[in-house]
Every structure is written in structure tokens, then in C-alpha cells.
Copies of this chain bind each other. A is one copy, B any other.
Amino acid sequence: MKCTRCREPAEVQLRAHNSAFCRPCFLFFFKRQVERAIAHEHMFTQAERLLVCVSGGKDSLALWDVLADMGYDTTGLYLGLGIGEYSDESHAKVEKFATSRGLPLRVIALESEAAGMAVPEVARFTRRPACAACGTMKRHYFDTAAFEGGFDVLVTGHNLDDEAARLMGNVLRWQRDYLARQRPVLAPTHPKFVRKVKPLYLTSEYETAVYAFMRRIDYIVDECPNAAGATQLIYKDTLNRLEAASPGTKMAFVKEFLRTAQPAFAEVDRQEPRECTRCGMPAYGELCSFCNLVRAVESKRRPAAAGASA
């Protein structure tokens, strides 16, 4: 198999792109793909300050790597979720990556924040699935860090597989409000929100894994232990089967959705957020979903503490 660009022996085959690449040409292709997504969707400019959310996994570190390499003004943001060894290890990978490249990193450990709650505790007290509680908390700390740090853009490493799986879930239940907001760029709906973008939305998980390998990025390979058996993984598996039967399925699914169907859903009216009476961040009710979660935990904690001291 020869490289589609230079005819040297190829190292990677990308069936969805009907292409194969040698190492230098793959790195060129990967970078160009990210550049095109940024330019085509008007994600951000060289003059803007980007806060890149990094988990320690291949996608977010590959993204931070390629953005820094392109000369963007990036700062990493790592959230310590308090999920045992998984969190310890992922934190170490992120620190190592930032140090080795001399890139600025902010770290927020959930258990040392005002609410003092890590993901396992919140899930247990509120009886919500860990992934749902985690999503709400992550969004809150991402938004707050971007606003307080004066960043212009919040960048996440969601890849094509993530976006296709999410779309599959939204489509299987036809969740119009979620379909209305599933875009690679979300404009802020409130002065305390910043623009949110996903430069890897058309880059497959396989491609970021290859990129991370070629660039010798040391990332955490394990999935989050809470994700085992998660619906999202079933959708990913389903889409991998469809992709194997017909390469390019995921890309067409996401791209055509954005081109032909998403505008129809986006017309659904959505109220403007007010401000949360507790934390001051944007909220659709009196409290934002994060503060709702905090209040639920607090109400469980107090009687428990009282019971323990009695």
C-alpha cells in the first residue's frame, strides 16, 4: 500500500477517506483536517485566548498538541474528578505533557472547591448516574474557569466517534432540543458564557490515536471506570459495525446532519438564560443545574452528619 500523497510506503489506511498515508503525510493530513474544521466553522483566530479542556486521554492531548503546534494561544484546563486511580493517573499524564512542552496548565480538583464534592460522592448522594452528575459538574467548572480566566473560547476534544454516538442517541429518541444544539461551534447565549468549539468533530478516534502514537504523546489508555457499559459505548460499537460495512458512514451521518437536518431543529425556540441566584452563572431556572446538584448533596449530607454525631 502506497501513500496517497507521496507514493512512499504507507503506514496508515483511512478507509473513510479512501486514503493511505506514510508518517509525515499522515501528520500533515491530520493537521490540515483540524485547520479546515477551524477555518470552515470560524472557530477561533490566532488573536484569541483558548482554554483547552484536557482529560489526559488521546483526543484532548492530541488536540492541545496540534493547536500549540499551529501557534494558537492555548492554556490547558484539567479537572480532578476524584475518580480514584483513574483521576490520579490522568492528572499525572496531563502535568507531564504540559511540562514537557512548556504549556500553561490550570488544575481544578473538585474535592478542594467550594462545594467540596467529587463525582463519586455526588452520584451516590443524588442517586444520579455518575456520567450525568459528572457532565453537569464538568460544564459548570469549564464555564466558570473560562469566564473568570477571561478566555475567548472553550475548546474540547470531542471527536467524530463522540459526535456520531451522541447524534445516534439523540436521533433514537428524537430529542429535538439536543439536536437543536448539537453543533461544532456554540455561540455564547449569555455574557458569562464563552464560545464552545470542537475542532476534532470530523476526526475519528482512530486518527487521533494514530496521531498521538506518532507524536509520542503519553496518554491514559483506560476508559473512565464509570463509562463501562455506558449507552454511549453501545452506540459507538454500533456505529463501528456500520462503518466497517460501509466506510464513511460516521462522517456522512454527522456532516449531512449538520448540513441538511440540523437547521430544521435549530429553529426550536429556546429561552435566554438568567443568572443562578447562588453562583451567579447562567441558569434556566432559579438555580443552575450545578447548584441544584450541590443543594441535593447538601440536603443528604446534613442528616447523615447529624445521624453520625447522635
Residues of B within 8 A of A237 (CB): 241
**Of the candidates B172, B231, B261, which one forms a contact with A252 in the assembled complex, judged by CB atoms under 8 Å apart?**
B172
Interface string of A213-255 (1 = CB under 8 A from B): 0000000000000000001001101100110011001001100
Count of this chain's copies in the oligomeric assembly: 2
Tell yes or no: A206 within 8 A of B by CB.
no
Tell yes or no: A256 within 8 A of B by CB.
yes
Tell yes or no: A279 within 8 A of B by CB.
no
Q: Give Cα A305 to B45, complex, Å.
A: 67
Tell yes or no: A125 within 8 A of B by CB.
no
- Nearest-neighbour CB distance to chain B for A180, whole angstroms, equals 11
Residues of B within 8 A of A257 (CB): 174
Q: Give Cα A176 to B176, complex, Å.
A: 16
How many A residues are at the interface, by size bracket? 20 to 34
Tell yes or no: A39 within 8 A of B by CB.
no
Residues of B within 8 A of A256 (CB): 173-174
Query: Does the CB pair B261–A176 fall under 8 Å?
Result: yes
- Residues of A127-182 whose CB lies within 8 A of B: 171-174, 176
**Of the candidates B234, B241, B265, which one forms a contact with A264 in the assembled complex, judged by CB atoms under 8 Å apart?**
B265
Tell yes or no: A260 within 8 A of B by CB.
yes
Residue from A172, A234, A242, A249 whose CB has the most chain B CB atoms within 10 Å: A172
26 A-B pairs (CB sep. < 8 Å): A171-B171, A171-B253, A172-B242, A172-B249, A172-B252, A173-B252, A173-B253, A173-B256, A174-B253, A174-B256, A174-B257, A174-B259, A174-B260, A174-B261, A176-B260, A231-B245, A231-B246, A234-B241, A234-B242, A234-B245, A235-B242, A237-B241, A238-B238, A238-B242, A264-B264, A264-B265
Binding site for B on A (CB under 8 A): 171-174, 176, 231, 234-235, 237-238, 241-242, 245-246, 249, 252-253, 256-257, 259-261, 264-265
- Leading 5 A-B pairs by shortest Cβ distance: A174-B256, A264-B264, A174-B261, A174-B260, A172-B253
